[in-house]
Structure 1
């Protein structure tokens, strides 16, 4: 690419998450927050010598000021940012030879501040100044310190359920007393100035009442009717349930509940046998919930993990930004535990199945099931993950093959809004379940009028799927092999 074309691209590129443009007149102290914000977030490029309106003014006007700008990553950022600097020769807007400065800022594992000890984070096209709470959250996210190790104010060993500790010790083969385990392993209990301090991980994993100290360490599950969230008079919330307790307890309880909300689709194979497939592979929605529990930022006290279940998609919202060097573009390959002790615990209980491989497997299983890839979005200290089901589209495109039903494969009384073909399959499923069922019983079970039941039976007979052996009383149905 020619230098002229490169300059034109830099002048026209919109500012965003990883790109900013500044005039050469910018003060070094004002450039530092931008460099810090890029380093603390995803990295990026700062182009200096191009005005907001795209005019190329260059950087050759004042060598002393240029030297001051070049010092910014090293002398104005704490710790220093390892920036890569290059110049691109060009002609400025007056037609004179000049240069543009491109400063590449790499994503950093450290938390950086300016000389005034202010931390910034890149959000869209803005360099956002972080308050104290957000700064600590970023500190934990980068793994410079773990919030799960921080002592919980006013907590004592009396707040620990030793039976839960004993059960875990048995699980991992630890033979000493549970109190000994807590005091000698994983910094669950530490001494400061002769006083025992209980860690956040200990309370969250073994506490008698974890929500006493972490009120929003909960999982809230909201089931909506339809495909979108509505408010006011059109509010479409069907269920709104909160799960509390230890992390293990609320994870298991929430997974059990979600299993009752995931639809299953039953289709009739060419061999006249039914096949059932879930709306989403179980591993995928389990992985999202477990990841939210394991990797959420527990220093964010004001919100829960929220699971939103719609007819055609499922959303999991987890407090915290992506941890460590994990970003949206590398989430399948890069693994980082924000809470390594919690992660190990959940792994020991076989909820975290594959360290560092679960997200990639989730993508592969969604693809194998014919669903779109999982979607991740990072908002202001909130990660949102979405699973989308394509089964409803399949049901519309090929109603001879698919029937939407509730988990458990129930067929009775759930026919409202179904197509004629759907009801034919409902009738057939009932016959498969009970070959001796009568037309009256079929009507009672399925909620379909007796005359309509007979039409579906006639259709199944005509298609060579079933036949009747014997009379109406004492006879039975036979499922035929389709040729």
Structure 2
């Protein structure tokens, strides 16, 4: 640090991330402040301040003070590993600055006391905060705890057998033993009980036991949340949730449409599907499941896609090092999802997402720590340059102020742009040959219920026309 940075800190005053002590501060006081900062958001501890005036007072013996700082770091349990202190000359006196990085990997104590920073003070960690911090930093694993009130029979053993039968190197081992090895079952008093990881991965009804373990997916018409939206609450075990989210994305993400010389239709999603899959799997694999008041939220807006996960970034991972740092609070869940074939999505990490959005000429994703969690935002393609060919779109995912999926866009394109007076189930089936007829029927029914189309006729003779807009 430089002299002016120290003066600026003293001018701005103490805070959650800034504290100072006199030049002869005892080891215990230094240790207490460093541990409190390590259990909070990190910070800077300045040594050599005249506490009465909050002005530079200096350190008589910098070498002895360095020894006291080292002794303080070693007095913390577990020992606090931090960068060497900076020795800075400020106003003709020698001072010292200790940097405690945020996102430390453990929960730290001094003489058995666990503290954190609350405003400008060191305060005891509240039990609930303490428990959350232990889970977040991996000192205690929530996923390895048995599910309260659950039995082995609450797992879907057909899915367990399907999973274990495809594992290599596990020949002759019973499904129960495989789940024990994977951290999905635990033995207590001679009986087997599902862990939180086991329930999340294989439970018949995980949300019965772990509230908030679902995903809420929604498409909004504009740039902000509004009254008009399409929503889907996605429950069930985690592998099923991932697959259902993928279906939602395929149905809900807008597509640019082009016609080639032979009139073949080519399409491109507004966001690279592989990148969004990676972010969804990472959210499912790494969120904090001990927080049961909220689930993962996936929101599509007209200009961006947001995925918000409960709980802060795990362990030493921060927004600044998220590309390079690797840490998982849910190692059992990660392992099983990898066994199931999601490894390609877990293995690349954020760097793979960055490469994909760059390849598609999209803005860099924005990573944000919120008050209660973590959010990643993907922004769709900016306006094309004047010399670049425009990619025509049907309706941009919105019609008359209401969000519509791509199949519904095809139906409206057939009626409006292609000037057909009516459309039948068969017409839309030809436009979407790979989609089940029941799905198309529901798309039509949705458009009718929202006053966009009117159904005429009955059964085989039925067809749909555009409802006149007042």
Counterpart position of 2:215: 219
Separation in 2, partners of 1:68, 1:331: 33
For residues 219-274 of structure 1, give each alpha carbon's deviation from its aligned partner in whole angstroms, at most 9, with x where no partner exists. Answer: 11122120112xxxxx3341232111111112211221122110001235689765
Partner of 2:205: 209
Would you say how many aligned residue pairs link Structure 1 and Structure 2?
408
Instruction: Check the 8 A contact 1:225/1:238 in 2, yes or no.
Output: yes
Corresponding residue for residue 132 of structure 2: 137
CA–CA distance in 1 between the matches of 2:72 and 2:129? 22
Call closer, same or farther: CA 1:280–1:54 in 2, change over 3 Å: farther
Distance between the aligned counterparts of 1:90 and 1:209, measured in 2?
Answer: 63
CA distance in 1, matches of 2:342, 2:145: 24
Among residues 340, 344, 351, which one is paired with 1:360 in the alignment? Answer: 351
The answer to whether structure 1 residue 171 and structure 2 residue 166 are counterparts is yes
Residues 21-420 of structure 1 correspond to what in structure 2 (within 5 A)? 21-22=19-20, 24=22, 32=31, 34-40=33-39, 43-49=42-48, 56-60=55-59, 70=69, 73-74=72-73, 77-83=76-82, 84-91=84-91, 97-106=92-101, 108-115=104-111, 117-120=113-116, 130-173=125-168, 174-176=170-172, 179-182=175-178, 184-229=180-225, 235-267=226-258, 275-390=266-381, 393-394=383-384, 401-403=391-393, 404=396, 406-408=405-407, 410-414=409-413
Q: CA 1:121–1:268 in 2, change beyond 3 Å: closer, same or farther?
A: farther
Query: Given that residues 216 and 303 in structure 1 are in contact (C-alpha distance below 8 angstroms), is that contact kept between their aligned partners in structure 2?
Result: yes
Question: Is contact 1:266-1:274 (8 Å) kept?
Answer: yes
Question: Which residue does the alignment assign to 1:94?
Answer: none
Give 1:101 shift.
1.4
**Which residue of 2 is the match for residue 436 of structure 1?**
none
SS at structure 1 position matched to 2:321:
coil
Task: Provide the rounded CA distance (Å) in 2 between the counterparts of 1:119 and 1:88.
Answer: 28
Give, in whole Å, the separation in 2 of the partners of 1:288 and 1:276: 22
Q: How many Å separate the matches in 1 of 2:392 and 2:414?
A: 14
Provide closer, same or farther for how the CA distance between residues 121 and 164 of structure 1 changes in structure 2, counting only shifts above 3 A.
farther
Query: Using the alignment, how far apart are the partners of 1:268 and 1:15 within structure 2?
Result: 63
Residue pair 1:332, 1:357 contacting (<8 A) in 2 also = no
* Greater mean alpha carbon deviation, residues 49-58 or residues 134-143: 49-58
Determine if contact 1:166/1:177 at 8 Å carries over to the other structure: no
Q: How much does 1:277 deviate? A: 1.6
Distance 2:330 2:114 in 1: 26
Tell which deviates more after alignment, 11-20 or 357-366: 11-20
Secondary structure at 1:222 match in 2: strand
* Displacement after TM superposition at 1:398 (Å): 7.1
Q: TM-score, normalised by structure 2?
A: 0.74
Q: Is the 8 A contact 2:282 2:346 kept in 1?
A: no
Deviations 1:275-310 (A, max 9, x none): 422100001111111111111111111111111111
Partner of 2:18: 20
* Helix, strand or coil at the partner of 1:201: helix
The aligned residue for residue 465 of structure 1 is none
The gaps in structure 2 that reach 5 residues or longer are: 398-404, 424-470
TM-score (structure 1 length as normaliser): 0.72
- Decide whether the 8 Å contact of 1:217 with 1:305 is kept in 2: yes
